[in-house]
Structure 1
Amino acid sequence: MTDRLPEVEARRASVQELGSVTDVMRSLAAMRLQQALAALAGTRAYAGVVAGALAQAVSLQDDAPARWPQNGHGGGQADVLLLFAPEHGFVGAFAERLVDAALAAPPGCLLWVAGQRGAALLEERGRPPVWTTAMATHTDAVTATALRIAEALYGAAAQGRLGRVELLYGRTGAGAPPEPVRRPLLPLDLPRARPHPLPPLTNMPPRDLIARLVDEYVFALLADAAMESFAAENAARLSTMMTARHNIEATLDELTATARHLRQEQVTTELIELVSGAEAMG
């Protein structure tokens, strides 16, 4: 068995290197999770401010619609489920849970995906998305991701191809595993404020102001969902890396005990050979 010692020591060194990589990934996921959770307060406050401004703008128009857009389903319109998925792997079963929730959508519902990992899983399941984009890999890129999605939605709406739009993304709580969350996006229920004796000053017609603020509010909701998804992805990756680190430590303990046993066996064998040789010479 002593000839196995180099093999065990080589495997132990390899596992130690893997542990170092896991530690780096765990630290990076923890840092990005904290950044995303801190940024979420800003995205939610931004959405709240835009919603308040939109409510005041709606109060300026007597015949303001209750929903936006007002047009119903037409022959060329289709419902859309927009999935925010991880861009990369090492998230455990989190990406699969999101994809399972997306596959529960009716067959006529179009799947849009932000995140290459989610798009690849849908492709493997036999229901490829009709539109994809990259998911943000750091907090500063969330705005760009939300902007790309908003532009695609506006383009489809301008062509009369867009029906109802629903968001599907992950949400993480205080230490809890991330879970899929569904949220309607379009048509948008317009918030309404109580009439104020001193209406706000505006420099454009209420209808145009409402349209501008609706665009801004939709973008704010997309940015909030993207930030939630980014936080959930890193929470799942952190949990996966912590589990991997635990398994690596258990494997290292086992390999260390095996190597110690083999070294002791090697020393015992050498002593026996030394004593036997000395007796033969005597």
Structure 2
Amino acid sequence: MSQNTKKTLNCRGRLVDLSHGPAVMGILNITPDSFFAGSRVPAGESLESALIDRAGQMLQDGASFLDIGGYSTRPGAPDISPAEEADRVLPAIEAIRRHWPEALLSVDTFRAEVARQAVEAGACMVNDVAGGTLDDRMFETVAALGVPYVLMHMRGTPQTMQSMATYTNLVTEVIDELATQLARLRALGQIDVLLDPGFGFAKTPAHNFTLLHKLESFRVFDEPLLIGLSRKSTIWRTLGITAEEALNGTTVLNTVALQKGASILRVHDVREAVEAVTLVSHLR
């Protein structure tokens, strides 16, 4: 983390201090079709029991945040309505809050209305894969809510993004597009912003490796970086394996990201990520 990087996040009155080292965010997908089956929490009568067990294990393993998503953003995933998305995430947030009231919950959504409802239900952070580009009400909504916001880089929609992975200068263009959105957020009074380069979102595997190699370039911003590389196709396609076999590759790339300034790792496998944070911290 750069000396000038903002090191605290105000999560509904609780101050999260990142100056002691990077944090880990565990992924909880309330979807039937996320690319990694191990991240899915089954719907139906067993939902709450499975969700609470999974959340409790992640918290025990050292997760600082839990990120709850109800809309699959894997390439080619079907679109669902805002109402269906809310029907997935809101009961999940409420259930975790009942069992783990101290847990810091993030909602993974690009829809302003779902973000608003999720924060009202108990979430304390909004993680927007679209960086405000798919809902023109998102920025004013999150600024009014007063919670930290993850501004991720993406082009197009989850259904079209891979057709838009064309850049003349990848790193410069990603930084410029994030800077434009960040300026809009600041003009609305948004205080806590985390930046995510958007690995795998309108990016080819070669783009992802370039972004990771040049991750220090994002220190031009004074915002903490959230990095999501966990079990992504860049890993398993490069290695000729499956997402289920990509934990070791995930740890390797997470380690590189930590050495290059990541403040939060968003992962499916919390214990292994926490171990990587602990070991890399000893290098400093």
Name the TM-score, length of structure 1 as normaliser.
0.24
Higher helix share: 1
Max radius of gyration: which structure?
Answer: 1
Q: Structure with the greater relative contact order (CA < 8 A, sep ≥ 6): 1 or 2?
A: 1
